[in-house]
Homo-oligomer: A and B are copies of this chain.
């Protein structure tokens, strides 16, 4: 597997464009569009929030129907959530605008939105945006990059990843872009992720690979524990790589899944590290837990703890907060068995042994925490399951962003 410089236009047959539709922001692009030369097998995962935005309902219908999709239209600024019938109608009209120009049936067109909850989308601006984008669609690296920029909200950086995998002698490309200062975040924090690949694969296996990789990657990210109304992850596979179609869970499937895992993991870590107001990626590795689900819950409990996150921000080696967050996770374990380490590029330091906090060097601990990627390792000594969760620190800037986001 090779990681290459690329994004959503890297796989064969995919084009992208963007435009400044003036939906909410001024002086920046706020719409993006992806189109495949040929119809695509699709897979998707969506927010588990009961309050689902209109585009989530629209896209889920398409994925479940088994329709072969060919385009994605995304806007930033307005989430189209809590908007009732009128909101769902805006999805229909956006797809109709694409149909009018490109000829794709509405059920071949995904739509996605991110931004403020509760406002209605200006459908005329979206239709005009589509009309402006179609003539600009291009398969260049630059076109993919500009699309990744257009879907940003409070993100400080566009997020793109691309890998090449060899499948039975054929090179398959998997490229993705996403936005989100939190998986797990209503309003601007919504995670939207779009992955394009030229692999030939059966729909059921594409969906299975997506589920299996999302559970280990995006679902292990938390910026603030708030699960968005709009979270969406879509994969479009057009088969143009020319590999022998993947139809069983064989070595080819495993190779593809490994590539998809790499793309999703890299994108998930980019989202965590670019959490709203964040100064550091906060990684928690739980080892030797009783089972996988326990390991996941324990690592997420620490990574979402406000006090742990504030300690990471302050470079305060207050490891009692991390132990405490393990303790209230709801998972059963023996607190008198837990060992803990701090780790970064500045070294590794044991801070607790058998549940007792050690008299470690505060200076060394502070040095390890003065980093953009800080890791806490917890050894539960119960079994052999492991999980990693990613988050970020809790900063003054987070409060500033969220106290007056709409103003």
Q: Please state if A402 and B314 are interface contacts (CB–CB under 8 Å).
A: yes
Please tell me the number of chain A residues within 8 Å of chain B, measured between CB atoms.
64
Q: Is residue A186 contacting chain B, with contact meaning CB distance below 8 A?
A: yes
Contact A328/B117 with A84-B356, A321-B187 known, Cβ cut-off 8 Å: no
Complex Cα–Cα for A229 and B305 (A):
14
Residues of B within 8 A of A335 (CB): 50-52
Complex Cα–Cα for A257 and B101 (A):
71
Complex Cα–Cα for A354 and B84 (A):
9
Residues of B within 8 A of A171 (CB): none
Q: Please state if A406 and B187 are interface contacts (CB–CB under 8 Å).
A: no
Complex Cα–Cα for A97 and B185 (A):
52
Residues of B within 8 A of A118 (CB): 319-320, 352, 357
Q: Please state if A327 and B49 are interface contacts (CB–CB under 8 Å).
A: yes
Choose among B48, B314, B321, B336 the residue that contacts A407 (Cβ–Cβ < 8 A).
B314
Residues of B within 8 A of A81 (CB): 320, 324
Closest to A399 in B: B396
Q: Scan A307-335; emit 1 where CB is below 8 A from any B CB, else 0.
A: 10011011010111101111110001101
Choose among B51, B313, B336, B400 the residue that contacts A324 (Cβ–Cβ < 8 A).
B51
Q: Please state if A395 and B399 are interface contacts (CB–CB under 8 Å).
A: yes
Residues of B within 8 A of A79 (CB): 320
Complex Cα–Cα for A314 and B51 (A):
24
Contact A324/B402 with A82-B355, A306-B224 known, Cβ cut-off 8 Å: no
Closest to A86 in B: B356
Q: Please state if B49 and A328 are interface contacts (CB–CB under 8 Å).
A: yes
Q: Is residue A405 contacting chain B, with contact meaning CB distance below 8 A?
A: yes
Q: Scan A199-231; emit 1 where CB is below 8 A from any B CB, else 0.
A: 000000000000000000000000011111100
Closest to A338 in B: B51
Which A-B residue pairs are the 4 nearest by beta carbons?
Answer: A117-B320, A314-B403, A51-B327, A118-B357
Interface residues of A (CB under 8 A from B): 48-52, 79, 81-84, 116-119, 185-187, 189, 224-229, 304-307, 310-311, 313-314, 316, 318-321, 323-328, 332-333, 335-336, 352, 354-357, 394-396, 398-400, 402-407
